Amino acid sequence: MTGVIKLMLDFGYALALSKAKSKARGATEEKAQIVRWRNIYGVTLIPWSLEYDFLLRRSPVYLRLTKESYESYYRKFFRVNGEASTVTTPSDEHFYRSITNTGNSFYLRPTDRAGVEHMNMAQLMNVELFPGYFFEVRGLEINHNTKEILIITRHNRRIGKGDPSYEQAKIHAMTCVSYFNVGIGHSWVHFQLPCVVSALVFNAVPRDSVLYRIMSVHTRFTMRINHQALRIRRTSNNQDKWSKRLNPFQAFAMTGNTFVENNQARTVDFYKLDGEFSAPPRLNPELPYHRFVGAYYQAIRQFIEDLGDRLELDLVDQLFTALDQYIPASLAAFDRKDLLAAFIWQVSVLHSSDHHTYYKLFRNYSCPMLRHRLEDGEPIQPAAMFDPLNVAKFENFTDVFVKFSYEEKFPNNLAHLTYGFTDPDLQAIEGRFCAELKAVEAKLEQEGLALVPLTQMAQSICF
């Protein structure tokens, strides 16, 4: 069966690549069309030159990973050699880091107790799941003094360490957080602003400008990957029927419409007038994740400053002025260099760090498809709480779509960053910037904050 799947994938890829190449050659005056869809702006018709670029440079990665995932999944589907997936119960320390060392930390809010913060996941109580699947945790209280977490259930029961149900509740909490992160929390990083900026750069910024040299690197593949995520939805467009068990990636017990609705709502809320968008980004230096990503923001901001008058600030002004009709946030309130640095930081460092930390801390310790109610009593082993095939789906989903993978001949990560400058002065500035990124990485390693290596930070939103 895997041989047939391989042939089908290879044939489909070759056909799509040939069509895109032909269209790209014949295309003239291409423009990315920005449209409003489900209350957020994005691009639905991808210019053929960008489609061809994606198929040539990024699709081979997905093709390889897809083949591997089908083979792995069907070995477990047919229980070849007894293969099956299961969830590992996280330690208390792992549970704590899954909040403080990931993008989940952006959802911590202070309480009236020193050193104690709350993570509100009440939105999950309204998510429409397929019958027989459950989200049972509505919030967490994180005590940074003791590094312990109090779990707040759907019915407002508070379960802490020492409670007979704590281990069981911890698995439920990891399940809820694993969906909250992907389905709600990470959405603003991915959508609306990155798509619109990518389109405006492609449509209007002169190709011979320094601004285009920089932004074309940090917007490459973004329109195409977000179109795939929001509209094609091969991983999230699940259905409650047996045939969907044959799909090795659909790891959420909801329809594609439900998945998009929650992504869209959070994105709109983040970018609204007087919302949470800020340049520089608002970070809490007390949190490990914020210290980590913040260190790279400073390096990017200095790079923008070092460009001096070589950077066409009039073009930067035009770019962010054009954003006003798409992004309700009052961008005029921010310094234009801060805006540019914040954008580059968001689509490279923050986006990849969200993905990598999620992969490390959730891939083997959770599954968003939980067929179990949170009950009183003794701990229940994870094997009794999850369908092994659903766990396998989540493993495949994270392996293919959460982890950043690339081909060695095209390592589009920050460790291999280049803007292709030909001017010696600009080359020197780029060289200092790349050296500073590596210096930041070394410093963070010394401080015990090496959360994500530069090799795992993509230059743009391309996965």
pLDDT for position 125? 93
Strands 40-43 and 108-110: unpaired
**What pLDDT is attached to residue 230?**
76
pLDDT higher than threshold 90 for residue 85: no
What CA–CA distance (Å, rounded) separates 180 from 263?
Answer: 10
pLDDT tens digit string along 178-188? 999 999 999 99
Distance from chain centroid for Cα 256: 17
Q: How many CA atoms lie within 13 Å of 347's alpha carbon, on the beta-carbon side?
A: 30
The answer to whether the beta carbons of residues 142 and 108 sit under 8 Å apart is yes
Tell me: the pLDDT tens digits for 307-331?
A: 999 999 999 999 999 998 899 888 8
Q: For residue 53, what are its two tokens?
A: 């670029």
**264 vs 439 pLDDT, higher one:** 439
pLDDT at 430 over 90: yes
> Do residues 101 and 451 touch, judged by C-beta distance below 8 A?
yes
- For residue 141, what pLDDT band results from cuts at 50, 70 and 90? very high
pTM of the model: 0.91
Q: Tens of pLDDT along 89-102?
A: 999 999 999 999 99
Taking the C-alpha atoms of residue 395 and residue 393, their distance in angstroms, rounded to an integer, is 5
State yes or no: pLDDT of 12 exceeds 80.
Answer: no
Q: State which H helix or E strand residue 119 sits in.
A: strand 116-120
Lowest pLDDT segment from 55-64, 235-244, 390-399: 235-244
Res 392: pLDDT? 93
Letter for the amino acid at 167? E
Q: What are the tens digits of pLDDT across the range 333-381?
A: 899 999 999 999 999 999 999 999 999 999 999 999 998 888 766 667 7
Query: In this predicted model, what pLDDT tens digit does every residue of 264-280 receive, in sequence order?
Result: 889 999 999 888 999 99
Would you report the helix, strand and coil content of the chain in percent, each value rounded to 5? Answer: 55, 5, 35
User: Could you read off the pLDDT of 188-206 as tens digits, one per residue?
Assistant: 999 999 999 999 999 999 9
* Nearest to 391, CA basis, from 370, 373, 364, 367: 367
What does the alpha-carbon distance between residue 214 and residue 311 come to, in Å, rounded to a whole number? 10
pLDDT score for 316: 95
Q: Is 463 helix (H, G, I), strand (E, B) or coil?
A: coil
Residue 251 or 456, more confident = 456
Tell me the per-residue pLDDT of 388-414, one tens digit each, with 9 for 90 and over: 999 999 999 999 999 999 988 898 999
Q: Is the pLDDT of residue 255 over 50?
A: yes
pLDDT band at 384 (very low <50, low <70, confident <90, very high): confident
CA 295-299-302 angle, 5° bins: 140
Domain boundaries, the chain: 2-86+185-456
pLDDT band per the 50, 70, 90 thresholds, residue 21: low
**Band of the pLDDT at 257, cuts 50, 70, 90?**
confident
Which range has the worst mean pLDDT, 156-165, 209-218, 236-245? 236-245
306 pLDDT band, cuts 50/70/90, is: very high
What is the rounded average pLDDT of the residues 219-244?
A: 79
At 295, the pLDDT band (50, 70, 90 cuts) reads: very high
- Mean pLDDT, the chain, as a whole number? 90
In this structure, of 105-119, 235-249, 263-277, 421-435, the range with the lowest mean pLDDT score is 235-249
> What pLDDT does residue 27 have?
45
Q: Does pLDDT of 20 surpass 60?
A: no
Band of pLDDT at residue 37, cut at 50, 70 and 90 = confident
Q: What b/e string do you get for 73-98 counting C-beta neighbours within 10 Å, with b at 16 or more?
A: bbebbeeeeeeebebeebeeebbbbb
- Rounded distance, CA 309 to CA 305, Å? 9
Cα–Cα dist 24/52, whole Å = 7
Task: Supply the pLDDT for residue 28.
Answer: 47
The CATH number assigned to the domain with range 2-86+185-456 reads 1.20.245.10
Cα torsion through 434, 319, 189, 302, rounded to 10: 30
In DSSP terms, 151 is beta-bridged to 140, 159
Question: Would you say the C-alpha torsion 18, 21, 26, 30 has a positive or negative sign?
Answer: positive
How far apart, in Å, are the Cα atoms of 140 and each of 90, 198, 230, 302, 363?
A: 16, 36, 29, 37, 20
pLDDT of residue 19: 58
